[in-house]
Amino acid sequence: MHCLWCSNPESQQHIPQLGFIASRCVGAGGDCGGACLSVCPVAALSLGTQDKPIIDRQLCDGCGRCTQACPEDALNVVGRDMSVDEVIAEVEKDRPFYRRSGGGITLGGGEPLVQHHFTSAILAAAHEAYLHTALETSGFAAWEHFEPVLEHVDLLQIDFKHIDPLIHRELTGQSNELVIDNLRRVLSVKSPRDVVVRFPVIPGCNDSVDNIKDMAEFVAGLGFTQIELIPYHKMGLSKYAQYGMDYPLAGCESPSESHMARLREVVPILVK
Ligand code: SF4
Ligand code: SF4
C-alpha cells in the first residue's frame, strides 16, 4: 500500500533512503568544500541551486559515504540491514525500561509483513527472551505469510481504512479485499482480547460518519471487540521534502475534537 497520509514515506521503497535537510546545508562553496560531492562512488550527487547537492535517486544506493563526509549533518541514511541477533541486542538495551513500564517490542510500519520471515524470527526471538510483542500492520499480506507471524504476537494492531473497495484503492493504491479476508481469518487464531482494529481518521478521505459507522459495524460483526480511532497528524510531513517526495495531502488538517467525539459515538466497541 501507499496510503496518501503515510507518515513513514522513507520506508516505501524497502531499501535504505538518503535524506537531505536543505536548511542545514551551507552549500558546496562553504567551509565543507562540497565534501559530499567528491566522495560519492556512483556520482549520484550533483550541484544544484545555491550550491546545494541534488540527489539522483536512481543512482544512489544508500551507501552513506556522503553522510560521513558532511560536517553539517545535512545528509542522513535511514534504513540498514540488521540480523535478528542485532535487533534483539538493540531491544535488550531497554529491558530495564520495559520491566518498569510493562512494555516490550512493537514492530511497526512501514509494513513488517513485507519481511514476514524476518518479522517472525524477531518475534520468536523476543518471546524466547521473555519480551512482550506487538505487531502493527496494514493487514495487506497473503494469509500464508501473515498466519505464521501471529504465533509470536501478543498484541495485534491491524488497520482498516475504508469500507468501499474502490475508494480504498484510491486512498491506498490497493483494494480492501485482502485486508477484509485477513480480518475474517484473524480471530481463528487470535483472541479478540489480543487484537485492536485501528481506523486512521483522515479528513476528506475516510472520516465521514457513515464510513466509520459502516467499518465499525462490519468489524464488530466479525467478532472483534476493540477498535481504536487514530486521528490524522502531520508528523511525517517534513520527511517528504527530505526524501525528495511530494506530499499528496498538502493542506490537510487534523480532525477537530468535536468531529472525533461524533465518530466515537458511532463506534460501539471503542478502546480509544
Ligand atoms: S548515499 Fe552513497 S550513493 Fe548515495 S549519494 Fe551518498 S555517497 Fe552517493
Ligand atoms: S550536504 Fe554537507 S557536505 Fe554537501 S554541500 Fe551541503 S553542507 Fe556541504
Give the model's pLDDT for residue 176.
98
Query: Which fold does the domain 84-266 belong to in CATH?
Result: TIM Barrel (3.20.20)
Segments making up each domain of the chain, as ranges: 17-78, 84-266
Is the pLDDT reported for residue 52 higher than 90? yes
Q: Is residue 47 within 6 Å of ligand 2 at its C-beta?
A: no
Strand partners, 157: 136, 196
Give the model's pLDDT for residue 102.
82
- Taking every pair of Cα atoms in the chain, the longest distance, rounded to a whole number of angstroms, is 64
> Residues near 143 by Cβ (< 8 Å), separated by ≥ 6?
181, 182, 185
Give the model's pLDDT for residue 174.
97
Mutate to test the pocket of ligand 2, among 40, 72, 73, 77 (most ligand atoms within 8 A of CB): 72
DSSP letters for 181-235: HHHHHHTTTS-GGGEEEEEEE-TTTT--HHHHHHHHHHHHHTT---EEEEE---T
Alpha-carbon distance of 138 to 112, in angstroms, equals 9
**Which percentage of the chain shows pLDDT scores above 90?**
90
Nearest atom in ligand 1 to 59's CA: 3
The dihedrals phi and psi of 63, each to the nearest 5 degrees, come to -65, -25
Residue 249 grid coordinates = 495531502
Question: pLDDT band at residue 272, thresholds of 50, 70 and 90?
Answer: low
Give the model's pLDDT for residue 255.
97
Give the mean pLDDT of the chain. Answer: 95
Q: Say whether 84-266 and 17-78 share the same fold.
A: no
Q: Is residue 26 within 6 Å of ligand 2 at its C-beta?
A: yes
Among the CATH numbers 3.20.20.100, 3.40.50.720, 3.30.70.20, 3.40.50.150, which is that of 17-78?
3.30.70.20
Is the pLDDT reported for residue 227 higher than 90? yes
Q: Which among 133, 159, 119, 212 has a CA at the least distance from the CA of 6? A: 159
Alpha-carbon distance of 12 to 1, in angstroms, equals 9
* Cβ burial 198-211 (10 Å sphere, 16+ → b, else e): bbbbbbebbbeeeb
**pLDDT tens for residues 100-157?**
888 899 999 789 999 999 999 999 999 999 999 999 999 999 999 999 999 999 999 9
Alpha-carbon distance of 239 to 150, in angstroms, equals 31
Counting ligands in written order, which one lies closest to the CA of residue 56? 1
Burial class of residue 168 in the structure, from the number of CB atoms within 10 Å of its CB (0-12 exposed, 13-18 middle, 19+ buried)? buried
> Residues near 253 by Cβ (< 8 Å), separated by ≥ 6?
203, 232
Give the model's pLDDT for residue 103.
86
Nearest atom in ligand 1 to 56's CA: 5
**pLDDT tens for residues 184-226?**
999 999 999 999 999 999 999 999 999 999 999 999 999 999 9
Alpha-carbon distance of 135 to 149, in angstroms, equals 9
Alpha-carbon distance of 236 to 143, in angstroms, equals 29
Mutate to test the pocket of ligand 1, among 40, 56, 59, 242 (most ligand atoms within 8 A of CB): 40
The arithmetic mean of pLDDT across residues 179-184, rounded, is 98
Q: Report the separation in Å between the CA atom of 24 and the middle of ligand 1, taken as the mean of its atom positions.
A: 18
Is the pLDDT reported for residue 17 higher than 90? yes
Alpha-carbon distance of 248 to 4, in angstroms, equals 6
Any idea which residue has 480511532 for its cell?
Answer: 229
Collapsed DSSP state (helix, strand, coil) of residue 53: strand
Burial class of residue 89 in the structure, from the number of CB atoms within 10 Å of its CB (0-12 exposed, 13-18 middle, 19+ buried)? exposed
Counting ligands in written order, which one lies closest to the CA of residue 16? 1
Alpha-carbon distance of 262 to 222, in angstroms, equals 23
Q: Is residue 74 within 6 Å of ligand 2 at its C-beta?
A: yes
Give the model's pLDDT for residue 98.
85
Is the pLDDT reported for residue 271 higher than 80? no
